[in-house]
């Protein structure tokens, strides 16, 4: 039973560019949440998707957007990258109604 998977593992982008990160939830999970973790900090909630709709959003600008597909996989898009967007981006999944969120290995984004 595969856990949460994320791609790519690492990514290097230049300021002003756009990036797309991908997440496949654990089998049987239909809710996907995205978190940003800066170095030395705890993860910060970006948004959550369920039934292909954004259900909750944290304190992140509109440059951060997402999508969920019918197979429950999800994408995180970041436009107009800033140096401060450099972080580990984590995807977490859970079945709706279950509180425990299971995390993927993350995508390390470096903006130069």
Partner 1 sequence: EDQVTQSPEALRLQEGESSSLNCSYTVSGLRGLFWYRQDPGKGPEFLFTLYSAGEEKEKERLKATLTKKESFLHITAPKPEDSATYLCAVQAGGSTGANSKLTFGKGITLSVRP
- Residue 42 or 84: which CB sits closer to partner 1? 42
* Residue list 11-70, contact with partner 1 (CB under 8 A): 31, 33, 35, 40-45, 48, 50, 55-56, 58
**Can you tell me whether residue 15 is helix, strand or coil?**
coil
- Residue 16 or 29: which CB sits closer to partner 1? 29
Shortest distance (Å) from residue 13 CB to partner 1: 19
- Is residue 94 near partner 1 by the rule CB under 8 A? yes
Interface stretch with partner 1, choices 11-19, 60-68, 72-80, 87-95 (CB under 8 A): 87-95
DSSP assignment of 96-108 equals TT----EE---EE
- Residue 4 or 18: which CB sits closer to partner 1? 4
Find the binder of partner 1 among 7, 52, 98, 112 (CB under 8 A). Answer: 98
Strand-pair category, 64-68 with 74-78: antiparallel
Task: Output b/e per residue, 67-90; b: 16+ Cβ within 10 A.
Answer: ebeeebbbbbebeebeeebbbbbb
- Residue 53 token pair: 């709709």
DSSP assignment of 28-70 equals T--EEEEEEE-TTS--EEEEEEETTEEEEE-S--TTEEEEE-T
Q: Which residues bind partner 1 (CB under 8 A)?
A: 4, 31, 33, 35, 40-45, 48, 50, 55-56, 58, 88, 90, 92, 94, 96-106, 108
């Amino acid at each position: 039973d595969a856990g949460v998977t994320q791609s790519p593992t690492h990514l290097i982008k230049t300021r002003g560019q756009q990036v797309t990160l991908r997440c496949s939830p654990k089998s049987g999970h239909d809710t996907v949440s995205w978190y940003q973790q800066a170095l030395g900090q705890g993860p910060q909630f970006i948004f959550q998707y369920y039934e292909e709709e954004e259900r909750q959003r944290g304190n992140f600008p509109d440059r951060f957007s997402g999508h969920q597909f019918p197979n429950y996989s999800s994408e995180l898009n970041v436009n107009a990258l800033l140096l401060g967007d450099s972080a580990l981006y984590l995807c977490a999944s859970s079945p709706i109604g279950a509180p425990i969120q299971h995390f993927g290995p993350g995508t390390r984004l470096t903006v130069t």
